[in-house]
């Protein structure tokens, strides 16, 4: 029989985690009485997401009792450097306990002891009494309690992601040490956050190595005389007292004098009825809606179960209603899949709050000359939609040329917070405090279970609620755009761009399938030859495409030295394999990988998505996904077609114009990101280089390697300078640069320092932009595209460093994205105004691809350059290069 389950939760540690996970939005989570609720929200998610599904037999949430404990008695400064707990969190402790109680779990605290000691003591008792014990905490030191019967669930980032620590995982993380040895490591290492010292100069790595060698701190000191003379030895001796003190402080007690026992901890289950008023008090609307949907009655003023909505079925007989909707309507077209180039429209809804909503499955009601059609194509009637591009393309397939779109909920939500990648209407509405609509997953299910309801009432109600949500959210979200100075970004860039992209997607690009098929047969032949060679070289057959199997062969059977590891085993990536090309098999593997990639991703992948009707591929540009404002391309991704290696580049010969005699014309911005950098930082040297149209990498090389004007820049120096320029754009580190140019770290650091001295404007800007991000919590582009950086103040070095690099990179990458988007809009307008036959087909971040009839080639070269380089006025010139050819391959 399975063991009974005992669940122990570290209330304090998790409340802090929950609080700080949502610290950026602390002022958004406030109830009607002014009580902050961010920690409560996070803790509730934890209880719902982890505890309730766990179904424990017994459970306890342990809390700290107060500031003084036996540890502060031993060591005055214990946790002495902690900031005072913010009052916004303090006020949440009482309701947190209540929340725990209503979830059927006992709270407990004990004077002079911390939550960990309570948990340690109960955990050991539980283990003795035959329970399977699980501890949930954010405190890494709790891993000392792990045993065969005690698992520690440690929260990672945020509070819903966890690592489950068993003795095996502890050993893995601590280089083979046991859970008991965690305190030995901590003793040497100390803990700055709890303000206890350890031994100076010893960090986690060294501490682990020492404990691996000596087992425990006492044993280490017994043998210390035999240790080689070193600074470390001196420190160990000098700080012996601190080591023992820290070890003692880190040890969790398992003998706290508790006044409760296991028999008091029976898990009672959730007290649903009592939770309702509690959630009402906290204004947990979403939880209440969920409970209402589960059939609980929610009454009172604060009740937030969905309000009833009336959605009438639209038929051929009541179309007159549509004539009377006025000059603003909410519209939503439902499809049965996400690829709107192929998915079938299955229903629609139209209406507004004033005149009601009308839904139907009958698409004929949209056809030409119906009132719905007239409404949709009339530019004087404002349309509020969700995902204008999808709606436009799908309606285009039904021969309805949508016009007059004013509000696109998806697009606006993205501009307000690019972090939020949720593409579900219901979920986005909830995030904007609108709860009168469910998510698609709740109504339609997901994956294989996805199905639009057969029942008209359910289906139309959901559609009606969606349209209503769009209409209701419009004003508030427009206000937010204005407050962020993003209205122009929306009306002048993103919204017009949506329709430019829609047209490009609809136009598609012709792919010569025969060409791909002939490449395919050659590839298959070469791959099978290589396969046989590799099997011979390995001595047996195996799956070449499995990194796991390949790792075993290379690093175990053949005894090669593993140069790099991944989370799960040996790395076999190109950078590793390229260092062992003296082994013939490795050469073959690299060759095989290269060809297999071309064959599966590009040849087969593209053949799969060519539309039978027009021999074209129609990608979808995702306009609301990237954190920087770039587009992305899916189904197929046409932004990563091979170009660097000749073998792959051949794929481009299959991309051809859609008419005989036409050409492919490509136009790319030269060094757009560095030009943006020069403009934003205002650095005079960098600007001069661009104003004088110099080779920027050579110019950089001259400055960082101090090469006089009369001496030519050699290729290697230019290559290094180029890497530095890239590094600057990405938010440089000496390690990263060293890896990239193959020098040591000190040299890389030297180069970076020289660069920043030479280009002082860049240096100043990088400090300022990080400063700005710290102060405001976000950075923005020249068009006010905003990116929030939640981790900019993180204590964790890695998270913070990443946020700092992002603060430098996003304005640059994002401003470059702004520029090409503006150029695309102007380009499309000009093609139309001049009634040219040429079509814009693709965008690849800094490059636009067109198909052009012979008679328009000259004018197009000229027009494109003119429009692209004048899209935005910067303090440095923009430079555009064009190329034409019979295929995309030849347009180089």
CB of 628 to DNA, least distance (A): 5
Q: Does 731 bind DNA (CB under 7 A)?
A: yes
d(CA 117, CA 129): 18
Nearest CB to DNA, comparing residues 447 and 661? 447
> Contact, 678 vs 876, CB < 8 A?
yes
d(CA 638, CA 647): 17
| Among positions 261, 399, 491, 546, the unique one binding DNA when judged by CB under 7 A | 546
For 277, residues 6+ apart whose C-beta sits below 8 A from its C-beta are: 300
What is the DSSP code string of 12-54?
HHHHHHHHHHTGGGTTT-B-TTS-B-HHHHHHHHHIIIIIHHH
> Contact, 402 vs 389, CB < 8 A?
no
Q: Does 203 bind DNA (CB under 7 A)?
A: yes
Q: How many residues bind DNA (CB under 7 A)?
A: 79
Binding to DNA in span 705-724, by CB under 7 A: 723-724
Binding to DNA in span 351-390, by CB under 7 A: none
| Among positions 735, 760, 829, 862, the unique one binding DNA when judged by CB under 7 A | 735
Of 19-27, 347-355, 403-411, 635-643, the window that binds DNA (rule: CB under 7 A) is: 635-643
> Contact, 824 vs 800, CB < 8 A?
no
3-state SS track over 397-463? HCCCCCCCEEEEHHHHHHHHCCCCCCCCHHHHHHHCCCCCCCCHHHHHCCHHHCCCCCCHHHHHHHH
Nearest CB to DNA, comparing residues 733 and 870? 733
Q: Does 547 bind DNA (CB under 7 A)?
A: yes
Nearest CB to DNA, comparing residues 109 and 670? 670
CB of 203 to DNA, least distance (A): 3
Q: Does 401 bind DNA (CB under 7 A)?
A: no
Of 109-117, 388-396, 563-571, 696-704, the window that binds DNA (rule: CB under 7 A) is: 563-571
Binding to DNA in span 569-598, by CB under 7 A: 569, 571-574, 577, 590, 593-594, 597
| Residue in this structure with the two tokens 């304005």, named with its chain if needed | 811
Between the CA of residue 323 and those of 326, 368, 377, 473, what are the distances in Å? 7, 15, 13, 24
For 66, residues 6+ apart whose C-beta sits below 8 A from its C-beta are: 111
d(CA 528, CA 100): 62
CB burial of residue 404 (10 Å; 0-12, 13-18, 19+): middle
Q: Two tokens at 332? A: 């939503």
| Among positions 150, 737, 860, 864, the unique one binding DNA when judged by CB under 7 A | 737
Q: Does 212 bind DNA (CB under 7 A)?
A: no
Binding to DNA in span 336-355, by CB under 7 A: none
CB of 807 to DNA, least distance (A): 10
CB of 212 to DNA, least distance (A): 14
Q: Does 543 bind DNA (CB under 7 A)?
A: yes
| Among positions 627, 658, 764, 830, the unique one binding DNA when judged by CB under 7 A | 627
Q: Does 604 bind DNA (CB under 7 A)?
A: yes
Nearest CB to DNA, comparing residues 350 and 741? 741
Binding to DNA in span 229-268, by CB under 7 A: none
Q: How many CB atoms lie within 10 A of CB 72?
A: 16
| Among positions 355, 548, 611, 659, the unique one binding DNA when judged by CB under 7 A | 548
CB of 556 to DNA, least distance (A): 14
CB of 725 to DNA, least distance (A): 9
Q: Does 843 bind DNA (CB under 7 A)?
A: no
Nearest CB to DNA, comparing residues 31 and 627? 627
> Contact, 742 vs 687, CB < 8 A?
no
> Contact, 296 vs 276, CB < 8 A?
yes
| Among positions 798, 833, 835, 873, the unique one binding DNA when judged by CB under 7 A | 798
Of 369-377, 504-512, 580-588, 793-801, the window that binds DNA (rule: CB under 7 A) is: 793-801
Binding to DNA in span 846-885, by CB under 7 A: 846-847
3-state SS track over 206-246? HHHHHHHHHCCHHHHHHCHHHCCCCHHHHHHHHCHHHHHHH
Per DSSP, 336 falls in state: S
Of 89-97, 237-245, 512-520, 634-642, the window that binds DNA (rule: CB under 7 A) is: 634-642
End-to-end CA distance of the chain: 70
Of 54-62, 482-490, 529-537, 842-850, the window that binds DNA (rule: CB under 7 A) is: 842-850
Q: Two tokens at 520? A: 């395919």
Binding to DNA in span 407-466, by CB under 7 A: 447
CA 303 to chain centre: 34
d(CA 359, CA 363): 10
CB of 64 to DNA, least distance (A): 26
| Among positions 297, 475, 579, 640, the unique one binding DNA when judged by CB under 7 A | 640
Give 351's strand partners: 330, 357
Q: Does 612 bind DNA (CB under 7 A)?
A: no
Of 126-134, 511-519, 706-714, 845-853, the window that binds DNA (rule: CB under 7 A) is: 845-853
Nearest CB to DNA, comparing residues 348 and 778? 778
Between the CA of residue 191 and those of 126, 194, 391, 499, 677, what are the distances in Å? 29, 5, 56, 56, 41
For residues 825-854, one letter each, b for 16 or more C-beta atoms within 10 angstroms of the residue's C-beta and e for the rest, the string is bbbbeebeeeebebbbbbbbbbbbbbbbbe
Of 82-90, 530-538, 735-743, 764-772, the window that binds DNA (rule: CB under 7 A) is: 735-743
Nearest CB to DNA, comparing residues 130 and 569? 569
> Contact, 325 vs 313, CB < 8 A?
no
Q: Does 644 bind DNA (CB under 7 A)?
A: yes
Binding to DNA in span 652-671, by CB under 7 A: none
């Amino acid at each position: 029989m399975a063991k009974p389950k005992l669940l122990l939760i570290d209330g304090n540690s998790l409340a802090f985690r929950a609080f700080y996970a949502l610290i950026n939005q602390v002022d958004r989570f406030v109830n009607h009485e002014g009580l902050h609720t961010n920690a409560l929200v996070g803790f509730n998610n934890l209880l719902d997401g982890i505890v309730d599904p766990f179904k424990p037999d017994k459970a306890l949430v342990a809390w700290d009792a107060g500031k003084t404990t036996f540890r502060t008695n031993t060591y005055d400064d214990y946790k002495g450097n902690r900031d005072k707990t913010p009052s916004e969190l303090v006020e949440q402790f009482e309701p947190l306990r209540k929340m725990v109680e209503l979830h059927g779990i006992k709270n407990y605290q004990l004077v002079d002891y911390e939550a960990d000691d309570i948990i340690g003591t109960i955990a050991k008792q539980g283990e003795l009494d035959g329970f399977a014990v699980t501890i949930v905490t954010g405190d890494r030191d709790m891993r000392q309690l792990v045993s065969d019967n005690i698992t520690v669930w440690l929260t990672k980032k945020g509070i819903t992601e966890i690592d489950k620590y068993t003795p095996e995982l502890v050993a893995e993380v601590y280089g083979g040490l046991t859970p008991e040895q965690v305190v030995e490591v901590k003793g040497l290492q100390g803990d700055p956050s709890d303000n206890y010292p350890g031994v100076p100069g010893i960090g986690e790595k060294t501490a682990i190595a020492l404990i691996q060698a000596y087992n425990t701190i006492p044993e280490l000191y017994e043998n210390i005389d035999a240790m080689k003379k070193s600074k470390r030895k001196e420190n160990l001796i000098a700080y012996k007292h601190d080591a023992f003190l820290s070890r003692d402080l880190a040890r969790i007690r398992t003998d706290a004098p508790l006044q409760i026992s296991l028999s008091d901890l029976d898990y009672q289950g959730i007290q649903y009825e009592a939770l309702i008023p509690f959630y009402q008090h906290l204004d947990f609307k979403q939880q209440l809606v969920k409970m209402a949907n589960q059939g609980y009655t929610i009454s009172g003023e604060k009740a937030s179960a969905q309000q009833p909505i009336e959605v009438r079925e639209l038929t051929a007989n009541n179309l007159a209603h549509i004539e009377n909707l006025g000059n603003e309507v909410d519209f939503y077209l439902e499809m049965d899949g996400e690829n709107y180039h192929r998915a079938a429209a299955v229903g629609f809804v139209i209406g507004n709050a004033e005149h009601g909503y009308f839904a139907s499955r009958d698409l004929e009601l949209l056809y030409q000359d119906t009132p719905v059609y007239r409404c949709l194509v009339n530019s004087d009637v404002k349309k509020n939609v969700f995902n204008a591009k999808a709606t436009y393309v799908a309606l285009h397939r039904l021969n309805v040329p949508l016009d007059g779109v004013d509000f696109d909920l998806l697009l606006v939500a993205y501009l307000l917070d690019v972090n939020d990648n949720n593409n579900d209407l219901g979920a986005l509405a909830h995030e904007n405090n609108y709860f009168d609509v469910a998510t698609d997953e709740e109504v339609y299910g997901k994956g294989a279970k996805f199905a639009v309801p057969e029942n008209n009432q359910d289906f139309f109600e959901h559609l009606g609620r969606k349209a209503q949500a769009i209409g209701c959210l419009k004003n508030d979200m427009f206000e937010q755009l204005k407050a962020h100075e993003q209205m122009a970004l929306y009306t002048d860039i993103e919204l017009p761009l949506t329709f430019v992209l829609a047209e490009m997607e609809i136009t598609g690009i012709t792919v010569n399938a025969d060409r791909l098929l002939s490449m395919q047969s050659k590839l298959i032949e070469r791959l099978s030859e290589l396969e046989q060679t590799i099997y011979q070289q390995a001595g047996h057959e195996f799956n070449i495409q499995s990194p796991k199997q390949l790792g075993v062969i290379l690093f175990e059977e053949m005894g090669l030295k593993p140069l790099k590891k991944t989370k799960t085993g040996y790395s076999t990536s190109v950078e590793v394999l390229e260092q062992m090309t003296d082994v013939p098999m490795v050469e073959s593997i690299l060759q095989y990988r290269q060809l297999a990639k071309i064959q599966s991703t590009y040849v087969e992948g593209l053949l799969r998505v060519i539309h039978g009707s027009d021999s074209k591929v129609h990608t979808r540009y995702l306009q609301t996904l990237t954190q920087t404002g770039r587009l992305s391309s899916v189904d197929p991704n046409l932004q990563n077609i091979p170009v660097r290696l000749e073998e792959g580049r051949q794929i481009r010969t299959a991309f051809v114009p859609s008419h005989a005699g036409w050409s492919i014309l490509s136009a790319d911005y030269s060094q757009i990101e560095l030009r943006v950098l020069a403009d934003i930082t205002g650095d005079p040297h960098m600007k001069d280089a661009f104003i004088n149209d110099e080779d920027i990498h050579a110019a950089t090389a001259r400055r960082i390697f101090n090469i006089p004007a009369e001496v030519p820049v050699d290729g290697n120096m230019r290559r290094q300078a180029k890497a530095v320029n890239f590094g600057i754009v990405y938010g440089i580190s000496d390690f990263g640069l060293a890896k990239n140019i193959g020098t040591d770290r000190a040299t890389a650091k030297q180069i970076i320092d020289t660069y920043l001295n030479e280009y002082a404007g860049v240096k100043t800007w990088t400090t300022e932009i990080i400063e700005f991000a710290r102060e405001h919590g976000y950075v923005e582009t020249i068009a006010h595209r905003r990116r929030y950086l939640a981790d900019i103040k993180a204590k964790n070095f890695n998270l913070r460093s990443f946020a700092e690099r992002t603060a430098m990179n996003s304005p640059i990458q994002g401003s470059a994205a702004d520029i090409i988007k503006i150029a695309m809009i102007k380009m499309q307008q000009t093609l139309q105004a001049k009634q040219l036959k040429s079509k814009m087909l693709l965008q690849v971040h800094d490059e636009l691809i067109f198909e052009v009839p012979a008679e328009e080639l000259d004018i197009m070269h000229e027009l494109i350059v003119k429009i692209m380089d004048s899209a935005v006025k910067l303090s440095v010139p923009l430079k555009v290069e064009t190329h034409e050819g019979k295929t995309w391959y030849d347009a180089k």
